[in-house]
Amino acid sequence: MEITASLVKELRERSGAGMMECKKALAENGGDIEAAMEHLRKTGLAKADKKAGRVAAEGRIAMAAEGGRAVLVEVNSETDFVAKDGNFVAFADAVAQVALASGAADVEALKAVKLGEVSVEEARALLIAKIGENVQVRRMARVDGGHNVGAYIHGGRIGVLVELKGGDAELARGIAMHVAAMNPPYMTAAQVPAEFLAKEKEIELAKMSDKDRAKPADILEKIISGKVAKIVNENTLTGQPYVMDTNMTVEAALKAGGAEMVSMTRLAVGEGIEKVVEDYAAEVAKAMAV
Q: Is residue 289 part of a domain?
A: no
Residues 243 and 216 in one domain: yes
Same domain, 108 and 75: yes
- 81 located within any domain: yes
- Is residue 282 packed enough to be buried (19+ CB in 10 Å), middle (13-18) or exposed (0-12)? exposed
Same domain assignment for residues 173 and 255:
yes
Are 134 and 68 found together in one domain? yes
* Per-residue pLDDT, 29: 87
Q: Are residues 154 and 63 in the same domain?
A: no
- Considering the domain boundaries, does residue 282 fall inside one? no
pLDDT for the residue 46: 45
Query: Residue 214 is part of which domain span?
Result: 189-249
153 and 263 in a single domain? The answer is: yes
Length of the chain equals 290
Same domain for 255 and 174, yes or no, is: yes
In a domain, 85, yes or no: yes
**Count of domains for the chain:** 4
**DSSP code of 186?**
B
Residue 284 domain flag = no
At 166 the pLDDT is 96
pLDDT for position 3: 83
Domain identity same for 262 and 232: no
User: Are both 180 and 259 inside the same structural domain?
Assistant: yes
Residues of the chain with pLDDT under 70: 1, 15-18, 41-53, 276-290
pLDDT of residue 98: 97
Q: What is the pLDDT of residue 110?
A: 97
207 and 175 share a domain? no
Say whether both 134 and 75 belong to one domain.
yes
Q: Which residues of 66-79 are buried (b: 16+ CB within 10 A; e: fewer)?
A: eeebbbbbbbbbbe
**Same domain? 64 vs 111:** yes
